Structure 1
Amino acid sequence: MNTQEALPMDLEPVAPAREAAVTFRVPLPGPTRHTTMDSPLGELTLYGDGEALGGLLTPPRDGTRRAVPSDWVRDEAPFTEVRKQLAAYFDGRLRQFDLPLAPAGTPWQLQVWQALTTIPYGATSSYGQLAQELGRPTASRAVGMANGRNPISVIVPCHRVIGANGSLTGYAGGLERKEFLLALER
């Protein structure tokens, strides 16, 4: 990252150009709960604090089963609504999620992830456009780095971010999954 794109540690929140579809809250203390669910992307790992979703992870690209930390507690109950909404999304019946979300991240990451929720279903944005909307026009690489660390993929739609030239660019879950999600939303 060049110094022009470096971000100050004391970032002031910047309101995105569009209203965010969801709000984030701080994760509650206590054990992390988790479960899995089948999806067109493969087996998803869902985790959170028992009241809010903290993460949605796609399977590793090598096809192996995702390992979870040994101190996480398997618990299906907190994820009933998440599963229901994800199933409706993958069936093409849901365009906007309505779930309590509590991702853990830096202030900058949280700003970027919040901005991701402003990208409408079926639309795309570029890293540069998001940087502009966040009031940091030279921070497109920093936006890309934060985007790549989004723990709640699909629901916080990092797949809707593409290159400035319209090309599909990196996606932690793999470009084939990004293509699938964008095609689903067309």
Structure 2
Amino acid sequence: MQRLIVDMDGVLADVYSQFRKYEKEESGINQEPHAIIGKKEGEAYKNVRIYVNTPGFFLEAPVIPGSIEVMEQLNREYELFIVSSAMEFPLSLYEKYQWLQQHFPFLSWQQLVLCGSKKVVSGDIMLDDHFKNLDHFNGKTILFTQPHNQLADPGRHERVNNWKEVAELLLPQW
């Protein structure tokens, strides 16, 4: 059985919706999604570091559409692990765990890896929205499109734009 590594933020959890929500609440600015294409999170939103260190930021993030259904099937077909950086933002550790338990209850605690660096992770396939995590990975890499990577050439990484495309790529019977 192949080992599949799936990122949380920007792949399962819609952190961009959270950034927009927090920015609107804080400053009244309501950026349209197209206005931030090609910008890193810290460039697109002024107070990203404050937002991600605010209680509730990760816990209240919306689920990216289609992810639950596809993840349930992937869990049957792969040795599946959620690997998410959580040490940089200490509040996120518990909130990410709670969020995953709430939205993906079919995953066991043994499938959740909340870490500092993903460089120590190994597997056959990695699905992530950041090049910094994919570039060092030795297996097959899949780039999940988010505004910060939308204009970038995916290079050796295969790009998917949504969970339907993830299913078509990783679940041939889909």
TM range (shorter): under 0.3
* Bigger strand share: 2
Larger helix share, 1 or 2: 2
| TM-score, structure 1 as length reference | 0.22
Task: Calculate the TM-score normalised by the size of structure 2.
Answer: 0.23
